[in-house]
Amino acid sequence: MMRWLVIAWAVWLEVIRRKDVYVLLVLLGTLLAVVLSLNVFGLGGTSRYALDVGLLLAWVFGWILAVTVASRQLPDEEERGTVFTLLAKPVTRFDLVMGKYAGSWSVVAAATASFYLLAAGVTAARGGRVDFAALLQAVLLHAVALGVMCGLGLWFSARLHGDAAAALAFVVTAAAFLVVPRAPEFMTRQTGLAAAGLMLLYHLLPHFEVFDMRRRVVHDFGPAAWTDVGLIAAYGFALCACLALLAWTAFRRRRFSRSVP
């Protein structure tokens, strides 16, 4: 476990060295600018619109960060040749994969939590009401969803180049966002192979919509039952465990293209 923590901390340091932290600051500034500019439309209930836009951007930014950060971890180690130094130490491939997973997941979750806090802070500053119990549930479930996205990126990068892994992860997660929630509706209009394909996608792809609590927070419906939140989180953690196992299985069979310098 200590090896995982050391590798995870190295991921945090790498994100800082690669100036990802500045990207996060730009994204936060963009979020703030968008939220603050909503008053130019003269809409009633501006704080609610600000919160809605802020949480939507939190999902978009978190999605982009999760895929890009996780997809580059293993390929970058191979390109730099540092993977040989790591594996020459008492670090197994399992330790490396789990440490990279923990680091990617935690840094992206921390960044996304800051997006939520910014959106909630701006809303509260404008006199809007934010149910922080519901907001906490939204952050927790979103963090679990980010773990699934990071797992997909890490799994694909265990066998592919970083750019290819990121592109494939974006396609899969976009399909999960856009197709899976409407698959039952689409299946009523299809027959044969098309219906079977939609059914397969519906069961294989992650159901990110169950992790999305934006409407409950924005419309002040209050927190959900914690038993329901726990069941959804358990579903997400099961997906994360499966993806971590797949990433390790793919990485342990990988032959590296570079020799030790």
Instruction: Please report which confidence band the pLDDT of residue 220 belongs to, taking 50, 70 and 90 as the band edges.
Output: confident
CA dist 207 and 237 (Å) reads: 13
pLDDT digits (tens, 9 = 90+) for 55-109: 898 899 899 999 999 999 998 888 887 887 778 778 888 999 999 999 999 999 9
CA dihedral over 144, 65, 206, 1, signed as positive or negative: negative
Measured distance CA(72)–CA(248) in Å, rounded? 15
Six-digit token pair at 160?
């592919």
119-173 pLDDT per residue, tens: 888 788 777 788 889 999 999 999 999 999 999 999 999 988 889 999 999 999 9
Q: How far apart are CA 66 and CA 22, in angstroms?
A: 16
Q: How far is CA 37 from CA 1, 121, 215, in A?
A: 46, 15, 21
Token pair recorded at residue 44: 């009633």
